[in-house]
Amino acid sequence: MYLLKFNRKIPAGLFPALFVLAFASLWCLFGCEKAPRSTTLENVLKAGELTVITRNNAHCYYIYRDQAMGFEYDLAKAFADYLGVRLKVKIAEKWEGMIPALNSEDGAFIAASMTITPKRQKQAVFSNGYKEIQQYIITHRSNLSVKRVEDLAGKTVHVRQGTSYQERLEALRKQGLDIKVKLHVDIPTQELIRQVAEKEIEITIADSNIALLNRRYYPRIEIGDPINEKEYLGWVVNRNSLELRDRINTFFEEIKKSGELTRVYNKYYKDVETFDYVDLRAYHRRLETRLPRYKRIIMEAANRHDFDWRLIAAQTYQESHFDPKAKSHAGAIGLMQLTLSTARSLGVKNILDPVENIDAGVQHLSNLYELFDEAEGSNRLFLALAAYNIGQGHIRDAQNLARKMNLDPNKEVSLLKTLPLLEYAKYYKKTNFGYARGTEAIQYFKRIMIYYDILKQQGIEYTGIPSRQYIL
Protein backbone atom coordinates (compact mmCIF):
# COMPACT_ATOMS: atom_id res chain seq x y z
CA MET A 1 0.00 0.00 0.00
CA TYR A 2 2.83 2.36 0.85
CA LEU A 3 4.48 1.84 -2.52
CA LEU A 4 1.21 2.46 -4.37
CA LYS A 5 0.63 5.70 -2.50
CA PHE A 6 4.26 6.73 -3.03
CA ASN A 7 4.18 5.94 -6.73
CA ARG A 8 0.94 7.91 -7.30
CA LYS A 9 2.85 11.05 -6.22
CA ILE A 10 5.62 10.51 -8.80
CA PRO A 11 5.18 11.71 -12.38
CA ALA A 12 5.05 8.75 -14.72
CA GLY A 13 8.02 9.99 -16.76
CA LEU A 14 10.37 9.95 -13.79
CA PHE A 15 9.68 6.40 -12.67
CA PRO A 16 12.15 4.64 -15.03
CA ALA A 17 14.96 6.98 -14.00
CA LEU A 18 14.29 6.46 -10.30
CA PHE A 19 14.13 2.70 -10.86
CA VAL A 20 17.63 2.76 -12.45
CA LEU A 21 18.94 4.91 -9.59
CA ALA A 22 17.51 2.57 -6.97
CA PHE A 23 18.99 -0.47 -8.75
CA ALA A 24 22.39 1.19 -8.93
CA SER A 25 22.24 1.99 -5.22
CA LEU A 26 21.38 -1.62 -4.34
CA TRP A 27 24.17 -2.93 -6.61
CA CYS A 28 26.70 -0.66 -4.90
CA LEU A 29 25.41 -1.65 -1.46
CA PHE A 30 25.88 -5.36 -2.08
CA GLY A 31 28.43 -5.46 -4.86
CA CYS A 32 30.88 -2.57 -4.51
CA GLU A 33 32.97 -4.38 -1.91
CA LYS A 34 33.42 -7.25 -4.35
CA ALA A 35 34.57 -5.03 -7.20
CA PRO A 36 38.11 -5.91 -8.28
CA ARG A 37 40.78 -3.95 -6.43
CA SER A 38 44.03 -2.78 -7.93
CA THR A 39 46.48 -5.59 -7.17
CA THR A 40 49.78 -5.06 -5.39
CA LEU A 41 51.61 -5.98 -8.59
CA GLU A 42 49.71 -3.32 -10.54
CA ASN A 43 50.49 -0.73 -7.88
CA VAL A 44 54.18 -1.68 -7.92
CA LEU A 45 54.45 -1.40 -11.69
CA LYS A 46 52.58 1.91 -11.79
CA ALA A 47 54.66 3.43 -8.99
CA GLY A 48 57.91 1.98 -10.30
CA GLU A 49 58.81 0.99 -6.74
CA LEU A 50 58.79 -2.29 -4.81
CA THR A 51 58.87 -2.31 -1.01
CA VAL A 52 60.32 -5.37 0.70
CA ILE A 53 59.85 -5.98 4.42
CA THR A 54 62.88 -7.65 5.92
CA ARG A 55 65.13 -7.83 8.97
CA ASN A 56 68.46 -6.17 9.68
CA ASN A 57 70.67 -9.20 10.29
CA ALA A 58 73.48 -11.24 8.76
CA HIS A 59 71.16 -13.35 6.58
CA CYS A 60 68.69 -10.75 5.31
CA TYR A 61 70.02 -7.23 5.01
CA TYR A 62 72.99 -5.28 6.36
CA ILE A 63 75.54 -2.65 5.40
CA TYR A 64 79.15 -3.61 4.68
CA ARG A 65 81.66 -0.95 3.58
CA ASP A 66 78.75 1.41 2.85
CA GLN A 67 77.14 -1.16 0.57
CA ALA A 68 73.79 -2.87 1.05
CA MET A 69 74.22 -6.64 1.25
CA GLY A 70 72.55 -9.83 2.46
CA PHE A 71 71.25 -13.02 0.86
CA GLU A 72 67.62 -11.89 0.97
CA TYR A 73 68.51 -8.34 -0.10
CA ASP A 74 70.38 -9.55 -3.18
CA LEU A 75 67.44 -11.75 -4.21
CA ALA A 76 64.94 -8.93 -3.60
CA LYS A 77 67.08 -6.51 -5.61
CA ALA A 78 67.26 -9.04 -8.45
CA PHE A 79 63.46 -9.38 -8.33
CA ALA A 80 63.00 -5.61 -8.47
CA ASP A 81 65.32 -5.50 -11.48
CA TYR A 82 63.30 -8.33 -13.02
CA LEU A 83 60.15 -6.20 -12.69
CA GLY A 84 61.98 -3.09 -13.86
CA VAL A 85 61.34 -1.09 -10.68
CA ARG A 86 63.30 0.43 -7.79
CA LEU A 87 63.66 -1.46 -4.52
CA LYS A 88 62.71 0.10 -1.19
CA VAL A 89 63.85 -1.74 1.94
CA LYS A 90 61.67 -1.50 5.04
CA ILE A 91 63.27 -2.93 8.16
CA ALA A 92 60.71 -4.42 10.55
CA GLU A 93 61.15 -3.52 14.20
CA LYS A 94 60.30 -7.03 15.39
CA TRP A 95 60.24 -10.47 13.82
CA GLU A 96 56.60 -11.00 14.79
CA GLY A 97 55.69 -7.63 13.29
CA MET A 98 56.48 -8.51 9.68
CA ILE A 99 53.27 -10.31 8.70
CA PRO A 100 51.02 -7.72 10.43
CA ALA A 101 52.98 -4.99 8.62
CA LEU A 102 52.45 -6.81 5.32
CA ASN A 103 48.73 -7.20 5.96
CA SER A 104 48.57 -3.48 6.78
CA GLU A 105 50.05 -2.84 3.32
CA ASP A 106 53.31 -1.38 4.71
CA GLY A 107 55.14 -3.35 2.02
CA ALA A 108 54.57 -5.54 -1.02
CA PHE A 109 56.22 -8.72 0.29
CA ILE A 110 58.42 -10.20 3.01
CA ALA A 111 61.88 -11.56 2.20
CA ALA A 112 63.44 -12.56 5.52
CA SER A 113 64.51 -16.22 5.43
CA MET A 114 61.06 -17.17 6.70
CA THR A 115 60.20 -20.86 6.88
CA ILE A 116 56.94 -21.97 5.29
CA THR A 117 54.81 -23.45 8.09
CA PRO A 118 51.09 -24.33 8.31
CA LYS A 119 50.58 -21.75 11.07
CA ARG A 120 52.04 -18.95 8.97
CA GLN A 121 50.12 -20.02 5.89
CA LYS A 122 46.93 -19.19 7.80
CA GLN A 123 48.15 -15.60 8.17
CA ALA A 124 49.46 -14.86 4.68
CA VAL A 125 50.33 -16.38 1.31
CA PHE A 126 53.77 -17.91 0.64
CA SER A 127 55.64 -18.27 -2.61
CA ASN A 128 57.04 -21.62 -3.63
CA GLY A 129 60.04 -22.61 -1.55
CA TYR A 130 63.38 -21.34 -2.85
CA LYS A 131 65.78 -22.86 -0.31
CA GLU A 132 65.63 -26.18 1.53
CA ILE A 133 66.53 -26.03 5.23
CA GLN A 134 66.29 -28.15 8.36
CA GLN A 135 66.39 -27.32 12.08
CA TYR A 136 69.41 -28.56 14.06
CA ILE A 137 70.34 -28.81 17.72
CA ILE A 138 73.19 -26.43 18.67
CA THR A 139 75.31 -27.12 21.76
CA HIS A 140 78.85 -26.48 22.94
CA ARG A 141 81.50 -28.94 21.73
CA SER A 142 82.17 -29.99 25.32
CA ASN A 143 78.52 -30.97 25.82
CA LEU A 144 78.47 -34.70 25.09
CA SER A 145 75.04 -35.36 26.59
CA VAL A 146 72.88 -33.66 23.97
CA LYS A 147 73.05 -34.80 20.36
CA ARG A 148 69.66 -36.29 19.47
CA VAL A 149 66.07 -35.14 19.82
CA GLU A 150 65.40 -37.45 22.76
CA ASP A 151 68.38 -35.92 24.58
CA LEU A 152 66.41 -32.68 24.86
CA ALA A 153 64.15 -34.24 27.52
CA GLY A 154 64.43 -32.27 30.75
CA LYS A 155 66.56 -29.59 29.05
CA THR A 156 65.91 -25.91 28.48
CA VAL A 157 66.13 -24.83 24.85
CA HIS A 158 66.52 -21.13 24.03
CA VAL A 159 64.90 -19.77 20.84
CA ARG A 160 63.50 -16.51 19.56
CA GLN A 161 59.78 -15.99 20.07
CA GLY A 162 57.58 -16.37 17.01
CA THR A 163 59.97 -18.57 15.03
CA SER A 164 59.47 -21.94 13.36
CA TYR A 165 61.85 -23.26 16.05
CA GLN A 166 59.27 -22.41 18.69
CA GLU A 167 56.55 -24.13 16.65
CA ARG A 168 58.59 -27.31 16.31
CA LEU A 169 59.60 -27.46 19.97
CA GLU A 170 55.97 -27.00 21.04
CA ALA A 171 54.97 -29.81 18.68
CA LEU A 172 57.57 -32.07 20.30
CA ARG A 173 56.15 -31.22 23.72
CA LYS A 174 52.67 -32.16 22.54
CA GLN A 175 54.13 -35.48 21.42
CA GLY A 176 55.22 -36.10 25.00
CA LEU A 177 58.84 -34.92 25.07
CA ASP A 178 59.56 -32.99 28.26
CA ILE A 179 61.27 -29.88 26.88
CA LYS A 180 61.46 -26.51 28.58
CA VAL A 181 61.35 -23.73 26.01
CA LYS A 182 62.85 -20.38 26.95
CA LEU A 183 61.57 -17.71 24.56
CA HIS A 184 63.62 -14.59 23.80
CA VAL A 185 62.00 -11.48 22.38
CA ASP A 186 63.57 -10.53 19.06
CA ILE A 187 67.08 -11.88 19.73
CA PRO A 188 68.76 -13.07 16.51
CA THR A 189 69.55 -16.76 16.23
CA GLN A 190 73.19 -15.85 15.68
CA GLU A 191 73.30 -14.17 19.08
CA LEU A 192 71.88 -17.29 20.74
CA ILE A 193 74.54 -19.35 18.94
CA ARG A 194 77.19 -17.00 20.34
CA GLN A 195 75.77 -17.51 23.82
CA VAL A 196 76.03 -21.28 23.36
CA ALA A 197 79.65 -20.90 22.22
CA GLU A 198 80.42 -18.82 25.33
CA LYS A 199 78.52 -21.30 27.58
CA GLU A 200 76.04 -18.62 28.62
CA ILE A 201 73.19 -20.93 27.60
CA GLU A 202 73.24 -24.66 26.93
CA ILE A 203 71.09 -25.28 23.83
CA THR A 204 69.51 -23.45 20.93
CA ILE A 205 68.07 -24.43 17.55
CA ALA A 206 69.13 -23.09 14.14
CA ASP A 207 68.30 -23.68 10.50
CA SER A 208 70.99 -25.59 8.62
CA ASN A 209 72.32 -22.63 6.62
CA ILE A 210 72.55 -20.44 9.73
CA ALA A 211 74.14 -23.23 11.78
CA LEU A 212 76.80 -24.08 9.21
CA LEU A 213 77.75 -20.46 8.57
CA ASN A 214 77.98 -19.57 12.26
CA ARG A 215 80.18 -22.57 12.95
CA ARG A 216 82.91 -20.55 11.19
CA TYR A 217 82.40 -17.61 13.52
CA TYR A 218 81.99 -19.73 16.65
CA PRO A 219 83.93 -22.97 16.10
CA ARG A 220 83.30 -24.14 19.65
CA ILE A 221 79.68 -24.97 18.86
CA GLU A 222 78.54 -28.45 17.90
CA ILE A 223 75.77 -29.14 15.39
CA GLY A 224 73.69 -32.09 16.56
CA ASP A 225 70.86 -33.97 14.90
CA PRO A 226 67.92 -32.35 13.09
CA ILE A 227 64.68 -32.04 15.05
CA ASN A 228 62.33 -31.99 12.07
CA GLU A 229 61.89 -32.99 8.47
CA LYS A 230 63.19 -30.75 5.70
CA GLU A 231 61.33 -27.48 5.17
CA TYR A 232 61.61 -24.55 2.77
CA LEU A 233 62.14 -20.83 2.98
CA GLY A 234 59.63 -18.69 1.10
CA TRP A 235 58.66 -15.10 0.43
CA VAL A 236 55.34 -13.84 1.75
CA VAL A 237 52.59 -11.71 0.19
CA ASN A 238 49.16 -10.76 1.50
CA ARG A 239 45.99 -12.47 0.29
CA ASN A 240 45.17 -9.68 -2.19
CA SER A 241 48.49 -10.13 -4.00
CA LEU A 242 48.21 -13.47 -5.77
CA GLU A 243 49.45 -11.98 -9.04
CA LEU A 244 52.58 -10.80 -7.26
CA ARG A 245 52.98 -14.28 -5.71
CA ASP A 246 52.73 -15.83 -9.18
CA ARG A 247 55.34 -13.42 -10.57
CA ILE A 248 57.66 -14.27 -7.65
CA ASN A 249 57.28 -17.98 -8.41
CA THR A 250 58.13 -17.40 -12.06
CA PHE A 251 61.16 -15.34 -11.00
CA PHE A 252 62.44 -18.14 -8.77
CA GLU A 253 61.96 -20.70 -11.53
CA GLU A 254 64.00 -18.57 -13.92
CA ILE A 255 66.90 -17.82 -11.57
CA LYS A 256 67.11 -21.48 -10.59
CA LYS A 257 67.44 -22.47 -14.25
CA SER A 258 69.93 -19.70 -15.03
CA GLY A 259 72.12 -20.47 -12.02
CA GLU A 260 71.64 -16.99 -10.54
CA LEU A 261 70.09 -18.39 -7.35
CA THR A 262 73.14 -20.61 -6.84
CA ARG A 263 75.45 -17.67 -7.49
CA VAL A 264 73.73 -15.49 -4.88
CA TYR A 265 73.66 -18.36 -2.38
CA ASN A 266 77.37 -19.04 -2.89
CA LYS A 267 78.14 -15.38 -2.32
CA TYR A 268 77.06 -15.79 1.30
CA TYR A 269 77.13 -19.51 2.07
CA LYS A 270 79.79 -20.97 -0.22
CA ASP A 271 81.72 -23.88 1.30
CA VAL A 272 79.84 -23.64 4.62
CA GLU A 273 80.14 -27.42 4.86
CA THR A 274 83.94 -27.06 4.96
CA PHE A 275 84.99 -27.00 8.59
CA ASP A 276 88.33 -27.63 10.25
CA TYR A 277 87.91 -27.10 13.98
CA VAL A 278 91.62 -27.01 14.82
CA ASP A 279 92.43 -24.59 12.02
CA LEU A 280 89.55 -22.21 12.75
CA ARG A 281 90.21 -22.17 16.49
CA ALA A 282 93.84 -21.29 15.76
CA TYR A 283 92.72 -18.59 13.34
CA HIS A 284 90.37 -17.00 15.88
CA ARG A 285 93.12 -17.03 18.52
CA ARG A 286 95.63 -15.42 16.17
CA LEU A 287 93.17 -12.74 15.16
CA GLU A 288 93.38 -11.69 18.80
CA THR A 289 97.06 -12.30 19.52
CA ARG A 290 98.95 -11.72 16.25
CA LEU A 291 96.83 -9.67 13.85
CA PRO A 292 96.93 -6.49 16.01
CA ARG A 293 100.73 -6.27 15.45
CA TYR A 294 100.31 -6.03 11.68
CA LYS A 295 96.80 -4.67 11.24
CA ARG A 296 97.88 -1.06 10.59
CA ILE A 297 100.50 -2.18 8.04
CA ILE A 298 97.94 -4.39 6.28
CA MET A 299 95.32 -1.64 6.24
CA GLU A 300 97.74 0.91 4.76
CA ALA A 301 99.00 -1.47 2.07
CA ALA A 302 95.47 -2.58 1.17
CA ASN A 303 94.33 1.04 0.93
CA ARG A 304 97.23 1.95 -1.38
CA HIS A 305 96.28 -0.81 -3.78
CA ASP A 306 92.48 -0.52 -3.40
CA PHE A 307 91.78 -3.83 -1.66
CA ASP A 308 89.64 -4.57 1.37
CA TRP A 309 92.14 -4.88 4.21
CA ARG A 310 90.23 -7.87 5.55
CA LEU A 311 90.92 -9.77 2.34
CA ILE A 312 94.64 -9.00 2.65
CA ALA A 313 94.62 -10.03 6.30
CA ALA A 314 92.96 -13.31 5.34
CA GLN A 315 95.56 -13.94 2.65
CA THR A 316 98.39 -13.03 5.02
CA TYR A 317 97.13 -15.57 7.53
CA GLN A 318 96.85 -18.23 4.84
CA GLU A 319 100.42 -17.50 3.74
CA SER A 320 102.19 -17.26 7.08
CA HIS A 321 99.76 -17.44 10.02
CA PHE A 322 100.95 -13.87 10.75
CA ASP A 323 104.53 -15.09 11.33
CA PRO A 324 107.02 -12.56 9.84
CA LYS A 325 109.81 -15.18 9.86
CA ALA A 326 107.81 -17.92 8.15
CA LYS A 327 109.64 -19.80 5.39
CA SER A 328 108.14 -22.40 3.07
CA HIS A 329 109.79 -25.54 1.72
CA ALA A 330 109.97 -23.75 -1.65
CA GLY A 331 111.90 -20.83 -0.18
CA ALA A 332 109.09 -18.26 0.06
CA ILE A 333 109.69 -15.90 2.98
CA GLY A 334 107.82 -13.64 5.37
CA LEU A 335 104.26 -12.61 6.08
CA MET A 336 103.19 -12.70 2.42
CA GLN A 337 105.55 -15.56 1.49
CA LEU A 338 107.49 -13.77 -1.23
CA THR A 339 110.01 -15.61 -3.35
CA LEU A 340 113.40 -13.92 -3.66
CA SER A 341 112.85 -13.28 -7.37
CA THR A 342 109.45 -11.68 -6.80
CA ALA A 343 110.83 -9.59 -3.93
CA ARG A 344 113.70 -8.32 -6.10
CA SER A 345 111.35 -7.45 -8.97
CA LEU A 346 109.27 -5.35 -6.58
CA GLY A 347 112.25 -3.53 -5.08
CA VAL A 348 112.21 -5.18 -1.66
CA LYS A 349 115.42 -4.54 0.26
CA ASN A 350 114.64 -6.43 3.47
CA ILE A 351 112.31 -9.34 2.81
CA LEU A 352 111.80 -9.97 6.54
CA ASP A 353 110.63 -6.43 7.23
CA PRO A 354 106.85 -6.62 7.75
CA VAL A 355 106.16 -3.29 6.04
CA GLU A 356 108.17 -4.14 2.93
CA ASN A 357 106.97 -7.72 2.78
CA ILE A 358 103.27 -6.91 3.08
CA ASP A 359 103.38 -3.96 0.70
CA ALA A 360 105.22 -6.01 -1.92
CA GLY A 361 102.80 -8.90 -1.50
CA VAL A 362 99.80 -6.64 -2.02
CA GLN A 363 101.51 -5.01 -5.00
CA HIS A 364 102.09 -8.47 -6.49
CA LEU A 365 98.42 -9.37 -5.98
CA SER A 366 97.38 -6.05 -7.53
CA ASN A 367 99.56 -6.74 -10.58
CA LEU A 368 97.93 -10.15 -11.01
CA TYR A 369 94.48 -8.64 -10.59
CA GLU A 370 95.24 -6.17 -13.39
CA LEU A 371 96.61 -9.00 -15.54
CA PHE A 372 93.29 -10.87 -15.52
CA ASP A 373 91.22 -7.87 -16.55
CA GLU A 374 88.99 -9.91 -18.88
CA ALA A 375 87.39 -11.55 -15.85
CA GLU A 376 84.90 -9.78 -13.60
CA GLY A 377 84.08 -9.58 -9.92
CA SER A 378 84.77 -12.65 -7.82
CA ASN A 379 86.02 -14.52 -10.90
CA ARG A 380 88.82 -12.01 -11.32
CA LEU A 381 89.76 -12.25 -7.66
CA PHE A 382 89.82 -16.04 -7.92
CA LEU A 383 92.23 -15.90 -10.88
CA ALA A 384 94.51 -13.40 -9.14
CA LEU A 385 94.71 -15.33 -5.87
CA ALA A 386 95.16 -18.67 -7.60
CA ALA A 387 97.98 -17.13 -9.67
CA TYR A 388 99.58 -15.78 -6.47
CA ASN A 389 99.60 -19.35 -5.21
CA ILE A 390 100.87 -21.33 -8.23
CA GLY A 391 101.95 -18.70 -10.73
CA GLN A 392 100.25 -16.90 -13.57
CA GLY A 393 101.71 -19.29 -16.17
CA HIS A 394 99.83 -22.25 -14.70
CA ILE A 395 96.63 -20.21 -14.59
CA ARG A 396 97.07 -19.42 -18.28
CA ASP A 397 97.51 -23.15 -18.93
CA ALA A 398 94.29 -23.87 -17.06
CA GLN A 399 92.52 -21.17 -19.06
CA ASN A 400 93.75 -22.69 -22.32
CA LEU A 401 92.44 -26.08 -21.22
CA ALA A 402 89.09 -24.44 -20.49
CA ARG A 403 88.93 -23.02 -24.00
CA LYS A 404 89.63 -26.46 -25.48
CA MET A 405 86.75 -27.84 -23.39
CA ASN A 406 84.40 -25.05 -24.58
CA LEU A 407 84.35 -23.51 -21.10
CA ASP A 408 84.60 -19.82 -20.27
CA PRO A 409 88.30 -19.31 -19.34
CA ASN A 410 87.46 -16.30 -17.18
CA LYS A 411 85.03 -18.06 -14.84
CA GLU A 412 85.95 -19.68 -11.55
CA VAL A 413 83.54 -22.55 -12.24
CA SER A 414 85.55 -23.43 -15.37
CA LEU A 415 88.94 -23.42 -13.67
CA LEU A 416 87.60 -25.54 -10.83
CA LYS A 417 87.42 -28.23 -13.53
CA THR A 418 90.69 -27.55 -15.35
CA LEU A 419 93.15 -26.66 -12.58
CA PRO A 420 93.12 -30.21 -11.11
CA LEU A 421 93.91 -31.56 -14.60
CA LEU A 422 97.34 -29.92 -14.39
CA GLU A 423 98.29 -32.71 -11.98
CA TYR A 424 97.93 -35.39 -14.71
CA ALA A 425 100.57 -36.02 -17.37
CA LYS A 426 97.88 -36.54 -19.99
CA TYR A 427 97.11 -32.82 -19.74
CA TYR A 428 100.18 -31.03 -18.40
CA LYS A 429 102.49 -32.49 -21.09
CA LYS A 430 100.61 -30.37 -23.61
CA THR A 431 100.84 -27.13 -21.61
CA ASN A 432 103.44 -24.38 -21.63
CA PHE A 433 104.33 -24.55 -17.94
CA GLY A 434 103.86 -28.25 -17.16
CA TYR A 435 102.85 -29.86 -13.89
CA ALA A 436 101.13 -27.81 -11.20
CA ARG A 437 99.28 -28.57 -7.96
CA GLY A 438 96.04 -27.14 -9.29
CA THR A 439 93.89 -28.56 -6.49
CA GLU A 440 96.08 -26.76 -3.98
CA ALA A 441 95.35 -23.41 -5.67
CA ILE A 442 91.62 -24.10 -5.36
CA GLN A 443 91.93 -24.94 -1.67
CA TYR A 444 94.13 -21.87 -1.17
CA PHE A 445 91.37 -19.63 -2.51
CA LYS A 446 88.64 -21.38 -0.52
CA ARG A 447 90.51 -21.03 2.77
CA ILE A 448 91.19 -17.34 2.17
CA MET A 449 87.50 -16.76 1.45
CA ILE A 450 86.54 -18.50 4.71
CA TYR A 451 89.03 -16.40 6.70
CA TYR A 452 87.84 -13.29 4.84
CA ASP A 453 84.19 -14.07 5.62
CA ILE A 454 85.00 -14.34 9.33
CA LEU A 455 86.69 -10.94 9.31
CA LYS A 456 83.86 -9.42 7.26
CA GLN A 457 81.35 -10.66 9.83
CA GLN A 458 83.09 -8.47 12.40
CA GLY A 459 82.69 -5.48 10.08
CA ILE A 460 78.99 -5.83 9.32
CA GLU A 461 76.97 -2.78 10.29
CA TYR A 462 73.43 -3.05 11.61
CA THR A 463 71.31 0.08 11.67
CA GLY A 464 69.75 -0.56 15.05
CA ILE A 465 66.91 1.71 13.96
CA PRO A 466 63.50 0.05 13.62
CA SER A 467 61.20 0.54 10.64
CA ARG A 468 63.77 2.48 8.62
CA GLN A 469 63.23 2.59 4.87
CA TYR A 470 65.87 2.73 2.16
CA ILE A 471 65.51 3.37 -1.56
CA LEU A 472 68.08 1.28 -3.40
b or e along 264-279 (b: 16 or more beta carbons within 10 Å of the residue's beta carbon)?
A: bbbebbbebeeeeeee
Provide the 10 A C-beta neighbour count for residue 288: 8
Q: How many domains does the chain fold into?
A: 4
Band of residue 3 on the pLDDT scale cut at 50, 70, 90? very low
Query: Which strands make up the sheet holding 204-207, listed edge to edge?
Result: 180-184, 156-160, 204-207, 135-140, 221-226
Beta strands in 37-171 (DSSP E): 49-54, 62-64, 67-69, 86-91, 109-115, 125-126, 131-133, 135-140, 156-160
What pLDDT is attached to residue 20?
Answer: 47
Q: Do 325 and 435 fall within a single domain?
A: yes
Q: Do 410 and 372 fall within a single domain?
A: yes
What pLDDT is attached to residue 16?
Answer: 52
Q: Do 358 and 411 fall within a single domain?
A: yes
16 against 164, higher pLDDT: 164
Give tens-digit pLDDT for 6-52: 344 445 554 454 454 454 444 444 444 444 444 689 999 999 999 99
- Domain residue limits at 181: 135-229
Kindly report the average pLDDT of the chain as a whole number: 89
471 falls within a domain: no
Q: Which of 54-63, 126-135, 208-217 has the weakest average pLDDT?
A: 54-63
Give tens-digit pLDDT for 68-79: 889 999 999 999
What pLDDT is attached to residue 31?
Answer: 46
Q: Do 150 and 110 fall within a single domain?
A: no
What pLDDT is attached to residue 67?
Answer: 83
Contacts of 400 (CB under 8 A, 6+ apart): 409, 431, 432
Task: Write the burial class of residue 470 (CB in 10 Å: 0-12 exposed, 13-18 middle, 19+ buried).
Answer: middle
Q: Do 332 and 442 fall within a single domain?
A: yes
418 against 469, higher pLDDT: 418
What pLDDT is attached to residue 461?
Answer: 58
Q: Do 83 and 22 fall within a single domain?
A: no
Share of the chain above pLDDT 70, in %: 89
pLDDT exceeds cutoff 70 at 205: yes
What pLDDT is attached to residue 95?
Answer: 87
Residues 128-155, mean pLDDT to the nearest whole number: 96
Q: Do 30 and 58 fall within a single domain?
A: no
Q: Do 352 and 429 fall within a single domain?
A: yes
Task: Give me the catalytic one of 72, 231, 319, 412.
Answer: 319
29 falls within a domain: yes
Q: Do 288 and 415 fall within a single domain?
A: yes
| Distance from C-alpha of 198 to C-alpha of 195, rounded to nearest angstrom | 5
| Distance from C-alpha of 157 to C-alpha of 118, rounded to nearest angstrom | 22
Q: Do 297 and 423 fall within a single domain?
A: yes
CATH number of the domain within which 151 lies: 3.40.190.10
415 against 1, higher pLDDT: 415
Q: Do 210 and 320 fall within a single domain?
A: no
How are the residues of the chain apportioned to helix, strand and coil, as percentages rounded to the nearest 5?
55, 15, 30
The winner for highest mean pLDDT among 261-270, 323-332, 409-418 is: 409-418
What pLDDT is attached to residue 225?
Answer: 96
352 falls within a domain: yes
Residues 398-408, mean pLDDT to the nearest whole number: 97
| Distance from C-alpha of 388 to C-alpha of 321, rounded to nearest angstrom | 17
Residues 435-444, mean pLDDT to the nearest whole number: 94
pLDDT exceeds cutoff 90 at 93: no
H runs (alpha helix) in 88-207: 98-103, 118-121, 164-174, 189-197
Q: Can you tell me whether residue 222 is helix, strand or coil?
A: strand
Identify whether 132 is a catalytic site residue.
no
pLDDT exceeds cutoff 90 at 298: yes
Q: Do 76 and 57 fall within a single domain?
A: yes
Band of residue 274 on the pLDDT scale cut at 50, 70, 90? confident
434 falls within a domain: yes
274 falls within a domain: no
0.85 surpassed by pTM: no
Residues 83-94, mean pLDDT to the nearest whole number: 93
310 falls within a domain: yes
357 falls within a domain: yes
Residues 370-382, mean pLDDT to the nearest whole number: 95
What pLDDT is attached to residue 13?
Answer: 52
75 falls within a domain: yes
**How many Å is the maximal CA-CA distance in the chain?**
116
Residues 325-340, mean pLDDT to the nearest whole number: 91
Band of residue 57 on the pLDDT scale cut at 50, 70, 90? confident
Q: Which of 98-107, 203-212, 459-468 has the weakest average pLDDT?
A: 459-468
How far is CA 186 from each of CA 96, 160, 168, 192, rounded to the nearest angstrom?
A: 8, 6, 18, 11
